[in-house]
Structure 1
Amino acid sequence: MSAVLSGNAPQPKEKQAVSSFARFTLGSRVTPISVEGYRKLARKRLPGMVWAYVDGGADGQVTLADNRNGFQKWRLRQRSLTGISKPVLATRMAGVDVSLPIALAPTGLCGLTRWNGDWAAARAAESAGTRHVLSTGSSWTLEEVAGRTEKDHWYQLYPFGNRAKVGELMQRAEDAGFTALFVTVDVPVRGNREGERETGMGVPLTFTPANVLDAAMRPRWVYELFRHQRAVAIQYAQAGAVGVRAAVMAASEQDRYMQGDLSWDDLMWMRQRWKGKLYVKGVLDAEDAARCVDEIGADGVVVSNHGARQLDHALGSIDALPAIVERIGGRGEVYLDGGVRRGTDVIIALALGAKGVFVGRPYLYGLAVDGERGARNVLDILRDDMVRALILMGCPDVKSLDRSWLIPASSATT
């Protein structure tokens, strides 16, 4: 991607050679050793309205809890005396060889978490040997992110009710070197995210004395907001628009482009236009998954409930996974998005048939705390979690994981 913007060479990546087993301090600061540790620090770094956007879910947040609780339904089989000391994590996701079965999910308005969030996340991913999915709601354009990275990443597309706009974005993604398209189909309308609405984090933003004061208590965040002016979904604004003008344009355009009557014909049209790999993101039903692969010709699906930000009381992602894997069989790739916070969560998802997982909130926590380095550290934590767990399980390779490595929690306790 580095050649996309002439004269804009990729910036050097920060080296992270030390294992997170030993990375307990960074200078004089304590570095978190878990995703939850980053979450706690991120909560302190971000204003309340931004935190509600990053960490909250829809309505009563039942599905948000289910995304995490679903992993508790499984226990890992542990084999002894196997001689396994260096398990293999490398695999292939969306046609790309990756060093671990984890990629970074698309997250809109990433610039609210860190001013350079979109390209910082992409660079963290590629330095860890994996990939990032750039959101349609990104704070940096396709071309800007492409010019600041060395690898070909992936693009997430919201299927606007405007084929001219969709076609334009798809062409720009192809020209910029993005190799896979992830079409999100679970946002025909915006979910009822009460936490965001209560704090003023809606469309448009609502500023009150309380949330202005709350933001003012985080001067670094405020400085970066005004210095870089990247707290906007830039793809929704006209080319060249920045700052307040871009924010106003983006807010007015975003809802207008949501397509409540999105149909299978629209998805087929996208499949016919996009030359690379195409995945449908936001699938929870096995029948829908089969149609995506068998009728549309999608390369696979991402089992996801949009981070529990859309339909509350929908299935947790990990709970929906087994039926979709069984229905699709080997005809398409199945990925999981939602609720992953530890390496053992990744292992459970792979054992249930996922080809890999996507994480969103975890790397946002990392970005909020320590920018690109923080996002990379989160990936290293998950990697080390997986290595440790696979050694303890006696499993030599992530490709060996299947249902035989799992025990239902209900059986384990009887």
Structure 2
Amino acid sequence: MEPRVLVAILSVLVLTDLTFADEESSKIKVSEKFIRSAECSGSCFKAALSEIKTKDEQIDALIKSNEALMKTQSDNEELIRTIKIENNKKNNEIINKETLINLLNKQINEKNEKLLSCLHNINKNINTTIEKEKEIQENKEEIKRRDQLLNKKDKEIQERTEQARSKDALFRDLTSHINVISQNLTKANTKLEKCDEINSCPISGKGIYHIKLSEKSALVAPCNGSGWMVIQRRMDGSVDFGRNWTEYRDGFGNLTGEFFIGLQNLHLITKSRQHELLIRLGKVDGSTAFVKYDNFRIGSEKDFYLLESVGNHTGGAGDSLNYHLNMKFSTTDRDNDLAEGSCAKWHGGGWWFRECAESCLNGGFHKDGKMKNSSSIYWGSWYNYDYSVSLTFVEMMIRPKPF
């Protein structure tokens, strides 16, 4: 049966209060309808037709409404299909977007890692830069300090230059004075043959004398007044003191200039009686000092001219000889010191070295008063053991100790 007819029948049944709930009831009601229709004659029939017409109109309206609803339902279904298709597209787009987002997140994470690495490198570079800037600042301060030091040194050099000029003038004066002394000594030498031999230097006389010695012929030696015999002199570097054992034993040099009287002579003189030792010292700046010992004595050659005694000391130069007490004499070819190497070779001359020395008056001579290559003339106690200083004047003298 068509939906339209079914709807119409249903509508008539509703409108006529037919319920189909009970078949017998329905039959009774239909019979009653026919009975009333028969009883009401023509007027009732007209009313029924009118009601049927009304019902048909209502049925047509319902059918139209149902068709509109079905059309709307169809349109809605089509819209739903369209929406589902569109929704699927959107879902696909969402999936694609999520995939893209995941890819972008992955790229972002990679970029973040690279960024963190870059930040780490940047921080490292910043720290390095800070350290470099600190180092640069320290270097600037060091350069500034060195500039100040250089300025100070320049000023000191200028002062030293002025001092050197002054010293040169003084040196020329000393040289002139030395020449006069040499001439006087030469004149004294010419008179030497006229002098009688004596046992020691005279109290009042100066010059070169023949000194009688036991076990040896007379010794020719310079006397400096007040009974002092000069046994060593350093003044201009004209004589090399880097000599061998034999030369230090026998003596060498020029009695009117630089010389050493000889270890054997010193042994013979000092063994006969007690002698004093006077040492006069001078630096390049013109300052002088002295020290005197009251019991100077050395042993024989078989004892390697051992420094047996020096006694007590007095004088502003201080004591730099007691350190060498009981030490054998050493030369460049005879190493008798306690050091691993040769002190005589290091210091440029013979002495009573230990390990090695607090004094060495036979070392290398330097006119500028500065030690060079460990070679120098020095007496440490006079200038606080500043071994960079090299003395420019030395005179060692002995005389019998008065009682």
Q: What is the TM-score when the length of structure 1 is the normalising length?
A: 0.23
1 or 2, which has the higher helix percentage?
A: 2
* Rg comparison, structure with higher value: 2
Q: What is the TM-score when the length of structure 2 is the normalising length?
A: 0.23
